[in-house]
Chain A
Amino acid sequence: MNRFLRCLAILLAVCTLFSVMGTVGAVSDGSTSASSVSSTTDGNTAGNTNTEGTANSDDDSETAFTKFKYSDYLKEYSNIQKTKNEIVWGAAQNIVSKSDDVKVVTDADKDLPEDAKQYAGMTVSTTESSKIEWSVTVPEDALYTLNVLYYNVKGKDSDAERAIYVDGKAPFTEALATVFPRVWKDVASEEAKPLTDEELKLGYASFVRDVHDNDIRNESNEIHRWTYLDCRDNSGLYEDPFVFYLTAGTHTIRFESQREPIYINSLKLYTPETLISYADLLKEYESKGYKNGTAASVRVQAENLSSKSSATIYAEYDRGSSKMQPYSFDVIRLNQIASSKFTSPYQWVEWTFDVEEAGLYEIVTRFQQNTRDGAFCNRTLYINGEVPCEEAKHVRFNYDDTWQVAALATPAGETMKFYLNKGENTVRLQVTLGELSPIVDRVDTAIFNLNECYRKILMITGSVPDTYRDYQFQKIIPDVLELMETSGEELKKVITDIRALTGEKSGSFTSSFVTLTNDIDTMTKNPRQIAKRLSNFKANLGTISTWILDATSQPVGFDWIQVSPVDSELEKPENGFFKDMWHQVRMFIASFYMDYDDVGRRPSKAQGKTRDITVWVTTSLDQSQILRRLIDNSLSQTSDLKVDLKLVSAATVLPSIAAGMGPDVILGVGNSEPINYAIRGAVINLDDRNLNTKENFDDVMSRFAEAAIIPYKYQDPKTKVVSTYGVPETYSFSMLFYRKDILAELEMKVPKTWQDVYDCIVKLNMNSMLFGVTATMDTYAALLYQQGGAFYERNEQGLYESALDTPVAIKCFEQWTEFYSAYGSPITFDFPNRFRTGEMPMGIANYSTYNQLSVFAPEIKGLWGFEVLPGIEKVDENGKTYIDSTTMGGGTASVILSSTKNAKAAWDFLDWWTSADIQVAYGLEMESILGTAARYATANKEALARLPWSTEDYNKISEQWDKTSALPEVPGSYMLSRYVNFAFLAVANEGKDPGEELLDYVVMINDELERKQQEFINQ
């Protein structure tokens, strides 16, 4: 009866709830917005960085954390003038200290690439983990810009990153992630279709065609070259390079590698020249006697670029407009640089023009800017490597829903003309936030402060404030209220500024600010409203964080660029109505005969006999297309394997196998599937002499963590032979995530042992914050493995039995449930969201959460990190104490089906697929298409090292990688996880005794294990 009444009460509550949905609705906004954030910032691999604010970057300093923004630094030294001096020194000179891997490179060095020799003799080579410190003497107190001449040597294909310390200290947080970019170009294949004269005239790029006459994208190769770089911020929030304040006298400058090697030749402290205005530029042209050019206009297709900043910018096709060049209504013609790829600050594309006569020309583009309604996007124009005038720094591209043709103009609308040499000229367009950058910076600061306010309030009220209580905020935290008010005022100014800049009236770009400032007004004017408004406030803060993501992307796509004589007539951007209609009709008809699923297939190079295999993937379309491209470009060009790749739904796999219609290889099957199939004879043992895998089986398996293979191994209880039925593909595991800023504020350290964790939880709880522990087997497994326990043991007959009735297993189960019953960790929670608001500043989560956080929580960029899981102190045989922080790993695998006719070919395919080169290529491609959030959790250790993780982060993952274990799969093992979960929930919900609950289920688990194992012995 009691139970029934409770349900009734809840139902009543639900009914009431519908009526008040409006007010509570905001509560759910916060928890659901995590999923609504799309990965828009692809190519921006900035990620997380080491941001300790102190000199020593050793482990102890992790908690000594402060964030000091560059904007504050600038404000502090705003009255100091810029230097007029220039101090240059070679990188091999003045070295105060360096790590062992820093080498001075000479011309004689055979490691030195041929084209890097130009400056050698005084060059130093730095690796991805080097430290080097120079001393430099400056003559005056002034602001200096640091210019570095560097050479981008081959690495892991991501941009090099260095932390800059001046006099052993980071002058501001942004200096810790100074990027030294790579340069890329597209390489046309020799097999590309030759261009006709007509096409050459229109500046077409040449592409290889597939069997259906579709264009295939050219590969991107890196250009290794010497580059002068003014050290600058990487987020795009500051347009000008960094200035460092140095007093007269001797200082030290230190570079600490964050990722990727580079060669450094020389460094320079100076002040870059200021740009002249366009009016002055015209005067200068006049004084030099430059005349308007008379040569015919030269057009270059955007996809026919000569160099670019990132491999993620590449040619794509658009069939939506009938006036695209190259044009096609059915086959794929790569004809644009799409706006979705060309958006992040500092991305650039460069084109080369051959001009017949020197003179002044206009630059005309056909572009698409259809995302920033009512606003514009910016590009910086470089001609022959230099920005010609102040106005060229922010060239505006206005909004329209169709393609547009326009000449580059000043913000006031005056068409600009520039001097071009006879012969080759380069034109570069680089993404910049332009006038928006100081605004975004101000918003960023305000949001940072408001988040802190939110956290401080949260520490008093807890996450569910009592709306009827007067918390006396004015007395307890007057400073927080003040900070909130000033931040609110700042945001109001921002609204006015944005409206003035964009001329926006309707307010879609600024509406979220208005809501937030209203919240702040109410809360600061009437602090008793704070408790009531807190959840709304949090949700709106999240919205603004998303706004920052939007604002820092500047999407403009290009179809072609043209150098035209002054005042020449502009081409119409689109065709007329009827021509367009005809295009649509033909496109519709083409959709019936074009096989778009087979795009990219190239005739195999293999001569004569090929070995054919069928491969199924059950992932997404994107992934299967990437794989298809890899197969065509790599595998079928180098081997006699012919692969028929098919994307199927996971549900069809089992019926197909049962019907004998299965493929040879299936990729991406779940952790427990290989053994499930194997005991029923559906997949083959890979470690088999008859398969001829003996020669390289061990080689292939050595690519993975030992634990990664455990779930795919099975020992026959009768014959005691161990067989392996799957090759790991992906592999991931839990790690400990923490907020550096909050830990520093509470004077806490990153916990190393579980005892530390308990201390942390108590301290966090005292401040109304939580520690997140995932309520899954992973946590239980980690505890159990660390304490030397296991889930299974073997009985006398060699059969598996559950080991959950051992004292250690029961103890660990109790320990696990205590997190929820005694320490108040919630069972269900959205970790990334609570982590970013600071409610849950510490928690255990899968390491791939890193990617999600780095993309969708920009406001805490650099304020968090991850560590190896907490562990247990142990003493090794030498009497040394160490911490065992084993965690449970898991992933997906590839299997070969028994129905295959060519097992060796299938094995060779798996060998190719899991090799480091292919896994890296696959991972990088995924990231370039789906963004950083889709970073591939490869099971291949070497490939992991080559994915664009920063060195520090990679080291963390690598450390945990070696400390993983995994749950073995045995017949009936699903029972174990099911009943452990039942036992867990019984304890969590009903407060039952953990030991008793677990033991109750052990009998049932063992019954099923035995029954299932007997089933397969009897066969």
Chain B
Amino acid sequence: MKFKKEKGPKLTTREVCTKIWNDRTAYLMSAPYVILFTIFTVVPVVISMFFSFTYFNMLEAPQFIGLENYIRLFLKDDIFLIAIRNTVILAAITGPVGYLLCFFFAWGINEFSPKIRAIITLFFYAPSISGNAFLIFTLLFNSDSYGLVNAYLLKLGLISSPILFFQDTKYMMPLVIVVILWTSLGTSFLSFIAGFQGVDRSYYEAAAVDGVRNRWQELWFVTLPLMKESLMFSAIMSITGAFNVGPTVTGLVGFPSNGYAVHTIMHHLEDYGGQRFEMGYASAIATVLFIVMISVNVVIQKIIRKVGQ
């Protein structure tokens, strides 16, 4: 699996050009993606990093101000600390739990016959493809006394006045976590199912001969190592997803959330970029978020490599 880099002899420019020319088909084929990726992903990231060192209000030309944005971000901005705390809580809970949920559901579903599997897969996958389906929760937990949950609780006599579920700091975080988990069975879930499908049955037979005695051992020593790529892909999707919960949260609790109870880094970014027109500062936030996400991904990759060892 691991590629060892071979150090060849140093090439002259001319030789490089010849090599490129010889592999021109490969370069041509990858060109569309590389060009689009550069224009729409690499360049914006670089530009955003540049803006993070400027004062930029979107409507007037940016002014270079050095590290001022970062200094303010880390030393003066209390709300940013709240945002970091919330992001870590959300990511730490929804990322791994969502990941495990995906895995165990996929594992369970894998046991069914293909037809039933297809139906159940659709059933679990539906919430994440149907866009704003999570908004059903705003109906369920409506703060009107005729909102479904409130009406029911009032009827049972557990409460005497309706609870403002999505505006009460007591309930916001737990509810948001529940909803995010509900929608988390997305792409990574599908990739798990594909991963399980990709394992050849003969490995299990061989493993049985070699002394694997129960399903757990089968899972740990056979299935998981064979679907490491799926695991990696899903992990990255889950973690990235956990950092990008902004729109879901906004859809549930509005923007900004009451008392910044579920204010994440994404929201902080939106607050400065969209509401206060401080693009330079927002870019600094984005850069921090970017670095955090990259580092978390590196850590995750290291952990996943340990699977099956």
Contacts and interface: CB of A to CB of B under 8 A. Distances in A.
Given A28-B148, A974-B275, A989 B153 contact: no
B302 interface: no
A981 B59 contact: no
A681 interface: yes
B90 to A, nearest CB: 16
A981 B149 CA distance: 24
B132 to A, nearest CB: 17
Interface string A967-978: 000001010001
Contacts of A657: 59
B149 A654 contact: no
A985 interface: yes
Given A24-B151, A658-B58, A1012-B276, A986 B259 contact: yes
Closest 7 CB pairs of A and B: A828-B143, A31-B146, A680-B59, A989-B168, A7-B174, A464-B154, A828-B144
B264 to A, nearest CB: 17
Given A3-B170, A28-B139, A828-B162, A11 B178 contact: yes
A412 interface: no
16 contacts: A3-B170, A13-B153, A13-B156, A13-B158, A14-B149, A17-B148, A27-B148, A27-B151, A31-B146, A826-B145, A829-B145, A974-B276, A981-B258, A985-B167, A986-B259, A1012-B276
For A682, A974, A989, A1019, the residue with the greatest tally of chain B CB atoms inside 10 Å of its CB is A989
A982 B59 contact: no
Contacts of A30: 146
Contacts of B276: 972, 974, 1012
B219 interface: no
Interface in B19-68: 57-60
Interface of B: 57-60, 139-140, 142-149, 151-158, 161-162, 164, 167-171, 174-175, 178, 256, 258-259, 275-277
A830 B144 contact: yes
Contacts of B164: 827-828, 985, 988-989
Contacts of A13: 149, 152-153, 156, 158
A989 B59 contact: no
Interface in A955-1002: 972, 974, 978, 981-982, 985-986, 988-990
Contacts of A7: 171, 174-175
A547 interface: no
Nearest to A972: B276
A677 interface: yes
Interface string A3-16: 11011011101101
A353 B43 CA distance: 73
B306 to A, nearest CB: 32
Nearest to B259: A982
A109 to B, nearest CB: 59
Contact of B144 (A6, A31, A974): A31
Interface in A644-680: 654, 657-658, 676-677, 680
A658 B274 CA distance: 13
A955 to B, nearest CB: 34
A657 B60 CA distance: 10
A680 B168 contact: no
A467 interface: yes
A793 to B, nearest CB: 23
Contacts of A1019: 60
Interface string A826-839: 11111000000000
Nearest to A829: B144
Contacts of A982: 258-259
Given A654-B58, A978-B256, A982-B258, A17 B170 contact: no
A756 to B, nearest CB: 25
Contacts of B170: 3, 6, 989-990
Contact of A17 (B143, B145, B149): B149
Q: How large is the interface on A (under 10, 10 to 19, 20 to 34, 35 or more residues)?
A: 35 or more
A10 B146 CA distance: 16
Nearest to A1019: B60
For A9, A30, A682, the residue with the greatest tally of chain B CB atoms inside 10 Å of its CB is A682
A676 B146 contact: no
B59 A985 contact: no
Contacts, number: 108
Contacts of B161: 824, 826
A1019 B61 CA distance: 12
Given A828-B162, A989-B168, A989-B169, A27 B58 contact: no
A13 B148 CA distance: 10
Given A3-B170, A24-B148, 14 more contacts: A10-B149, A13-B158, A24-B152, A24-B155, A31-B144, A463-B145, A464-B155, A828-B144, A829-B144, A986-B169, A989-B164, A989-B168, A990-B168, A1012-B276
Nearest to B256: A978
A988 B258 CA distance: 12
A827 B259 contact: no
Contact of A826 (B59, B144, B153, B275): B144
Nearest to A826: B145
B79 to A, nearest CB: 9
A14 B139 CA distance: 12
Given A657-B59, A680-B60, A981-B258, A28 B167 contact: no
Nearest to A988: B164
A676 B275 CA distance: 10
B177 to A, nearest CB: 10
Contacts of A676: 277
B77 to A, nearest CB: 11
B167 A677 contact: no
Nearest to A21: B148
Interface in A450-475: 463-464, 466-467
Contacts of B168: 985, 989-990
Nearest to A8: B174
A682 B144 CA distance: 41
B59 A677 contact: yes
A975 to B, nearest CB: 9
Contacts of B259: 982, 985-986
Contacts of B146: 27-28, 30-31, 830
B154 to A, nearest CB: 5
Contact of B147 (A28, A658, A988): A28
Contacts of B162: 826-828
A989 B156 CA distance: 20
Contact of A467 (B60, B155, B158): B155
A658 B152 contact: no
Contacts of B149: 10, 13-14, 17
A989 B167 contact: yes
Contact of A14 (B140, B144, B154): B140
A10 B153 contact: yes
A677 B152 CA distance: 47
Contact of A680 (B58, B140, B275): B58
Interface in A5-55: 6-7, 9-11, 13-14, 16-17, 20-21, 24, 27-28, 30-31
A667 to B, nearest CB: 19
A824 B161 CA distance: 9
Contacts of B258: 981-982, 985
B155 A681 contact: no
Interface in A798-833: 824, 826-830
Given A13-B156, A17-B152, A985-B259, A680 B57 contact: yes
Contacts of A972: 276
A51 to B, nearest CB: 30
B8 to A, nearest CB: 47
Interface in A922-954: none
A536 to B, nearest CB: 13
Nearest to A677: B59
Contacts of A28: 139, 146-148, 151
Contacts of B140: 14, 17
A985 B155 CA distance: 24
Nearest to B167: A985
